Amino acid sequence: MKNTVLTFKQAKENGSKLTMLTAYDYSMAKLIDESGINSILVGDSLGNVILGYEDTISVTMEDMIHHSAAVARGAKNALVICDMPFMSYQTSVYDAVVNAGRLMKEGRASAVKLEGGKEVCAQIRAIVDAGIPVCAHLGLTPQSINAFGGFKVQGKTEAAAKKLIEDAKAVEEAGAFAVVLECVPEALAKLVTEKVSIPTIGIGAGNVCDGQVLVYQDMLGMFSDFTPKFVKRFADIGSVMKEAFKAYDEEVKAGTFPSKEHTYAIDDDIIEKLY
Ligand code: KIV
């Protein structure tokens, strides 16, 4: 069944959990879509796991559009949400609407995600007014990594926890249909989840959110540069892939691949005439 923003609304109302995974290309989007996951996030984490950057700062609109369009071609039922990259919405409300529009028109996303609370509410409101669903993102917002001074759990002091709750209410008020909570203590995520009527999607926010999101390379053991505490490895595909690559290397070098089974034939008399 096709997932839309209404699926998110109904899930919150019914108390059923939502699932979200990242994807950055057609084949992976298809696999995730066929597994019944509610939503695919074309995350700007592609900067880390696809492009090999240290952070998400260098990711461009062109990067996001390119990958979002590929994912959208593979996702028939999952709601495709595309991240707005660093400086595509912080600069002005006008830039935010234009760039969100590009992610929809050229990237064929069905919603966009942006990071921040009160400070980006004008942008959220304007994008929503343009008919584009917005997912907010609070807590550890990786585009602000330089302001945070590193990847740290957020909302641990009373003031920071209060701000997080206020920000969650503000993004809901501005029209966001969901909010990602990244790297916040579980008890705080529970409070936020109770205080807003839009679904909270947790990543490193415990088991109390209305849904969960993970980066697929993390949950499949395909990315080892760093592994946050909140990642559960559901499979070790990275090792399986390395075994397959090694087997291929050995068979090619031993001359056993390709065998007859993987080879095209032609009549011998045609070949003989060519000698
Ligand atoms: O970019 C991303 O993958 C994200 C998730 C970690 C929520 O924003």
Residues 6+ apart with CB under 8 A from 182: 137, 138, 139, 140, 141, 142, 154, 202, 203, 204, 205
Could you tell me the pTM of the whole model? 0.97
Please give the pLDDT value at position 248: 98
114: β partners: 136
Whole-number Å distance, alpha carbon 45 to ligand 1 midpoint, is 6
Closest CA to 132 of 92, 80, 184: 80
For residue 205, give the H/E element and its range.
none
Please give the pLDDT value at position 86: 98
Selecting among 182, 186, 261, 272, the annotated active-site residue is: 182
Which of the two residues, 149 and 28, has the higher pLDDT score?
Answer: 28
Q: Average pLDDT of 44-51?
A: 98
Q: Whose CA is nearest to atom 8 of ligand 1?
A: 43
Q: Are 187 and 155 in contact (CB under 8 A)?
A: no
Q: Are 213 and 139 in contact (CB under 8 A)?
A: no
Tell me the per-residue pLDDT of 119-163, one tens digit each, with 9 for 90 and over.
999 999 999 999 999 999 999 999 999 999 988 999 999 999 999
- Asked whether residue 26 carries a pLDDT value surpassing 90, the answer given is yes
Task: Give SS3 for 264.
Answer: coil
Write the DSSP assignment of 35-60 as a string of letters: TT-SEEEE-TTHHHHTT--SSSTT--
Pull the structure tokens for residue 81.
Answer: 């949400």
